[in-house]
């Protein structure tokens, strides 16, 4: 494994462990010891997705899991993963999952009951 691949793997593990915190690209870059521009460039080369999209998708994935596994209010989940408002969370969540968070929760819970 190349040094840059190792660093990107370490950074993705650190990101995955800190998704409940506000994550700025500048902070991730400082942790990696690179400028944010260089980190973003090598991140895309190795992971084939931008750093910002990687973080956003991971947070949305965890939020979707929480919607199914808990009865936590949508607003609480949105804030937990760093979204500014329920509206912002709903817009971004709906774009990825094609349904709003509450409808997603209800549909997934119904699926569990039918199996």
Q: Give SS3 for 98.
A: coil
**pLDDT over threshold 90, residue 108:** no
Mean pLDDT of 68-78: 96
- Structure token pair of residue 57: 């998708």
Fold of 52-115: Arc Repressor Mutant, subunit A (1.10.10)
pLDDT tops 80 at residue 112:
no
Residues of the chain with CATH 1.10.10.60: 52-115
Provide the CA 21 distance to its chain's centre, in angstroms.
Answer: 11
Q: Model pTM?
A: 0.86
Q: Could you report the per-residue pLDDT of 82-106, keeping only the tens digit for each? A: 999 999 999 999 999 999 999 999 9
> How far out from the chain centre does Cα 101 lie?
15
In the CATH hierarchy, which fold is given to the domain comprising 1-48?
Arc Repressor Mutant, subunit A (1.10.10)
Locate 83 and state its tokens.
């979204």
pLDDT tens digits, 20-52: 888 899 999 999 999 999 999 999 999 999 999
| In the predicted structure, residue 113 carries a pLDDT above the cut 70 | no
């Amino acid at each position: 494994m190349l040094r840059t691949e190792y660093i990107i793997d370490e950074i993705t593990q650190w990101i995955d462990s800190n998704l409940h915190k506000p994550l700025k690209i500048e902070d991730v870059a400082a942790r990696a010891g690179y400028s944010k521009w260089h980190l973003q460039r090598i991140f895309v080369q190795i992971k084939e997705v931008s750093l910002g999209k990687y973080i956003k998708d991971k947070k949305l994935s965890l939020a979707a899991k929480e919607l199914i596994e808990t009865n936590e209010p949508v607003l609480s989940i949105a804030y937990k993963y760093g979204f500014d408002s329920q509206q912002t969370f709903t817009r971004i969540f709906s774009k990825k999952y094609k349904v709003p968070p509450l409808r997603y929760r209800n549909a997934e819970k119904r699926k569990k009951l039918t199996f």
